[in-house]
Chain A
Amino acid sequence: MSTTFAKDSVQRALSAHAAIGLLASALLYLICLTGTVVVFYQEWQRIEQPDAPEIAAISPDAVQRAVKAVLATEKAKTPTTHLYVHIPVKELPRATITTDHQAVHVDTNGNIVGPEENAWSEFLLGLHYALNLPGLIGMTIVGIFGVMILALSLSGVIAHPRIFRDAFRLRARDNEGVGLTDWHNRLGVWTLPFSLAIALTGSMIGLGVVGANGLAAAFYQHDIEAAYAPIFGKEAQPDARAAPLADVAAPLTWIAQNQPELRPTYIILHDPGTRGQHVQLIAEHPQRLIYGETYEFGANGRYLGKVGLSDGHLGQQLAASAYNLHFGNYGGLPVKIAYCAFGFALTVVVATGTSIWLGKRERRGLNNPRLRSLWDAVLWGVPLALTMTFIARVIVGNAASLSAIFWSLWVLIILAAAFHPHPRPNRLLQGLFAASLLACPMAVLLG
């Protein structure tokens, strides 16, 4: 490769890096920041509802009684199509039953204790997963941003020929943009394996539906379920005629007797109270990256087989591993802490990218206060709006419209920054964010 060509390629890669970064930076920052916070999804739920009953285990018979009790409260409603029982686990020692209509905690005897109240955790997850957009549009958009991280990683490495050679050089205190650039490049290099894993799994999950539609159109005569069936198993044929409630205790007993080393996490009852009902039990396999294996049972509790996520085709194992690899819930608290730290580092990389670009322009005498002010509104407006939703959740309660609060507040901050770029809003927003951050634990303690 000639020097001229190499220089040309490096310059083009820098332009590509900047183009993708500037196009994606604001929402990418939001997605990375919420992803960092949502690593502690289970822990947030415990903080949100500290008085929910916490139990180490629940007996199979108690689960059966709980399912019956929950369905009895819904007799006047449209029959639920699915019923999920969350089995207590170390990270979230709560037994919770979720239907199409409600989610309730139950105690060790299978009695309903009260509703599940985790609106903020769900809002946060929805914001990260789909930008709170309905349907599959949001997920697809977030998936596209995962692709942007892949393209940014590639262009970033090519645009900086010394990036590996300087990988341990951090002039953290240098001003005039040197420190900022070093933070961006060092964190970028050392989180590269993490960023690529997160981006690849995230984009695979986000674009999964679009990809599955393509697979269905090309290979399965537009039947999307048929495209997923070889990976996650087939849905059983529904039969809406009434039938006695399925035996959900037997699967738990079966797994305890036959696979005692596994950790059941969920029971899913499809079409409860109908002839088409059947039961799936999801169980975690220790020291595996897969989220679990799906064990299938008939309505009478007879074991029918497993889907093969643990030992089936490589593709099945890969698909089942994507979720844990993305969310970091495969090694307890230490892995979650590592994911939070690396997620924060990735967020800093995204945040500093645009700041570096703005700094370069300003050093060339091209001041654009409005652009700078808008970027401040992104950098500090997102965490401020997030903490405000948490405070709203604690003060107003589970019914607070958290999505509306977050988006309207962030849009207001952006509009204010656009119309009043002088003085720069960063100090004000930083102060407000610090105050709201301090107010969060106080609100929890007092609330």
Chain B
Amino acid sequence: MSAAAPPIWVGAAVMIAAVLQLRHSWGLPRRSAVQNAIAWGVMLIGTALALVGEGAWGLAVAALCSMATAALLIAYEGWTSPRGKARASNRRAHMLCDQREPYHIGRRLFTFVLTVPIGFGTSLLTALGARAVAGMAGWSDADGNIMALLLLPVFWGFLIFWLLMRPNRRGQFAWLATPAAAGLALIWVGGVL
């Protein structure tokens, strides 16, 4: 950090101010798009200041400061909140059957197979397909390879969620087959297969 201008601390201070503004805007009796926009705008400015000041290190430190501020606000809220009479939500997650309901073991196992092993295979092929595109676009091997290693968990995490959100098997198959086929084709064109 340069002695003349410590922008990381300025960035951290601005991000803390953004958390305080969020506390204000989310606490309003009615939703205010303007107040929310101010909060997120201030957050963006703080992020930019931290990034400009000390790069990724600055952003990481400033983000920790803002999260710590939020944690303190939450701790205060928890400490001062009175004992209420609200009843907890009983929304069903439909994970285990209630009494006399069928177990659907086969259906559940098949969903597991689709989301975990097959989902992983699809994500890997998609990430490698993206790597092939990067190679064809003239990216360096270092950038392309790291992008693929980064995209693998991102794709897979998103795919698990997305597959579980599909209402039927046809939708799940489509979301598995399409990216896998595209990835495979791209690898065929841009790889050594």
Contacts and interface: CB of A to CB of B under 8 A. Distances in A.
Interface of A: 8-9, 11-20, 22-23, 143-144, 146-151, 154-155, 158, 164-174, 176-178, 180-181, 186-187, 190-191, 193-194, 197, 199-200, 203-204, 207-208, 210-212, 214-215, 218-221, 227-228, 230-231, 287-289, 308, 312-319, 321, 325, 330-331, 335, 338, 341-342, 345, 357, 359-361, 363-364, 366
A8 B27 CA distance: 28
Contacts of B191: 218-219
B23 A168 contact: yes
B145 A20 contact: no
B60 A325 contact: yes
Q: Which of A143, A155, A228 has the most CB of B within 10 A?
A: A155
Contacts of A316: 142, 146
Contacts of B140: 230, 313, 315
Interface in B12-36: 22-23, 26-27, 31
B153 A146 contact: yes
B157 interface: yes
Contact of B164 (A19, A227, A315): A19
Nearest to A183: B78
B4 interface: no
Contacts of B141: 230
Given A212-B149, A287-B54, A315 B96 contact: no
B160 interface: yes
Contact of A219 (B95, B111, B131): B131
Contacts of B193: 218
A214 B78 contact: no
A271 to B, nearest CB: 25
Contacts of B96: 361
B161 interface: yes
A315 B86 contact: no
**A-B pairs with lowest CB-CB distance, top 8:** A150-B157, A177-B88, A18-B93, A315-B146, A16-B164, A203-B153, A172-B78, A230-B141
Interface residues of B, number: 77
A177 B70 CA distance: 23
Interface in B61-86: 61, 63-64, 67-68, 70-71, 73-74, 77-79, 81-84, 86
Given A12-B165, A16-B161, A314-B143, A173 B81 contact: yes
A interface: dominant SS: helix
Contact of A147 (B70, B92, B160): B160
B146 A168 contact: no
B147 interface: yes
A283 B70 CA distance: 35
Given A154-B158, A342-B67, A364-B90, A215 B145 contact: yes
28 contacts: A12-B167, A18-B95, A143-B153, A155-B164, A168-B26, A168-B73, A170-B77, A170-B81, A171-B84, A173-B84, A176-B88, A178-B88, A181-B88, A187-B74, A190-B71, A191-B67, A212-B149, A215-B128, A218-B187, A218-B192, A219-B128, A287-B54, A288-B55, A313-B142, A319-B142, A360-B89, A364-B92, A366-B99
A214 B128 contact: yes
B156 interface: yes
Interface of B is mostly: helix
Contacts of A200: 150, 153-154
Contacts of A330: 57, 60
A211 B135 contact: no
Contact of B127 (A16, A174, A178, A211): A211
A194 B67 contact: yes
A169 B87 contact: no
Interface in B145-175: 145-150, 152-154, 156-158, 160-161, 164-165, 167
A194 B22 CA distance: 18
A338 B64 contact: yes
Contacts of B160: 16, 20, 147-148, 151
A21 to B, nearest CB: 9
B86 A178 contact: yes
B77 A345 contact: no
Contacts of A167: 22, 26, 70
Contacts of B132: 218-219
A174 B78 CA distance: 10
Nearest to B188: A218
Contacts of A14: 91, 93
Nearest to A227: B145
A254 B143 CA distance: 30
Contacts of B144: 315
- Output the residue of A9, A172, A208, A342 with the most chain B CB within 10 A: A172
A363 B56 CA distance: 47
Contacts of B77: 168-170, 172
Interface string B171-193: 00000000000000001000111
B60 A289 contact: yes
B94 interface: yes
B149 A193 contact: no
A430 B148 CA distance: 44
A215 B130 CA distance: 11
B166 to A, nearest CB: 8
A176 B83 CA distance: 11
Contacts of A12: 164-165, 167
B74 A364 contact: no
Nearest to A213: B124
A172 B157 contact: no
A335 B55 contact: no
Given A169-B77, A173-B83, A315 B143 contact: yes
